[in-house]
Amino acid sequence: MEISFTRFRVYSECPWKYKLMFVDGKKVPLTPASSLGLSLHRALESFHRSRVNELDKLLDCYEERWIGGGYADEQVKKEHFDKGIKILEKYFKQEQERRTQIEGIEREFIYPLGRHTVRGMIDRMDKHPDGGLEIIDYKTSLDFDEKSPVDRTLQLRFYALGVRESLGVKPSWLTIHYLAAGKREREPYDDSREDELKAAIERAADRIENGDFKPDTAFCPSCDFRRTCTHSTARS
Ligand code: SF4
């Protein structure tokens, strides 16, 4: 089977949630936060692909690639649109100080793992003057410390492994760029746990293939399906 980071993460949170989303096809509705996040990702992709380094171009890309769904009314939509402009203005200012070269935008990787295929899409990869590769993931949440450090780096380690396996290059740096806060968390890539991660991905893919969707209720309080799921322990 083919496994992406999203599928791996959802299965690791709760196998039943995986079944609801990827077997039964239930959709997670857009929220203002997720909708704005998608719009910002789309705007940045178009902006960097254009290679036009002007703020007006970035804001044009934002307007063109804006997603209007997920907002309760026009007022809320307008508030979030304006919030997005402020985030992008801050981003553009920071970009002017960049000393790295962009190597990839929405860069896809794919590699075989046992009987399975691992696929992923990296927000951005930069090359440093010393040749080192930096993997960057944009986060649009306003909450800077919303997850534990392990959760925060799991996605980047999944991507670093993907780059190593598909391009044969070991990344030097892993970075989370919190767009709303205008902050970056960067750390050197420690590849000592690659085998452990590979084994975890392969194990998850094996279990999915075997139809093992036993619910894990530890995640219920923050699950998108907590009000409707038959196994939920957090309905109220
Ligand atoms: S509500 Fe709980 S049991 Fe149901 S899918 Fe979500 S995490 Fe799993």
Task: For 18-40, write each residue's pLDDT tens digit.
Answer: 999 999 999 998 999 999 999 99
Tell me, what's the pLDDT at 155? 92
In a domain, 6, yes or no: no
Residues 147 and 181 in one domain: yes
**pLDDT by residue (tens digit) across 166-216?**
999 999 999 999 999 998 989 999 999 999 999 999 999 999 999 999 999
In a domain, 229, yes or no: no
Residues 157 and 204 in one domain: yes
Domain that holds residue 111: 12-25+99-222
- Ligand 1 nearest-atom number relative to CA 226: 1
Rounded to the nearest angstrom, the gap between the alpha carbon of residue 24 and the centroid of all alpha carbons in its chain is 23
**What band does 43 get if pLDDT is binned at 50, 70 and 90?**
very high
Using a pLDDT cut of 90, give the percent of the chain over it: 88
- CB of 10 sitting under 6 A from ligand 1: no
Residues 162 and 211 in one domain: yes
Residues 17 and 120 in one domain: yes
- Ligand 1 nearest-atom number relative to CA 231: 3
Nearest by Cα to 125 from 111, 110, 109, 112: 109
Residue nearest to atom 2 of ligand 1 (CA): 220
Distances (CA, A) of 49 to 52, 53, 103, 185: 8, 10, 11, 24
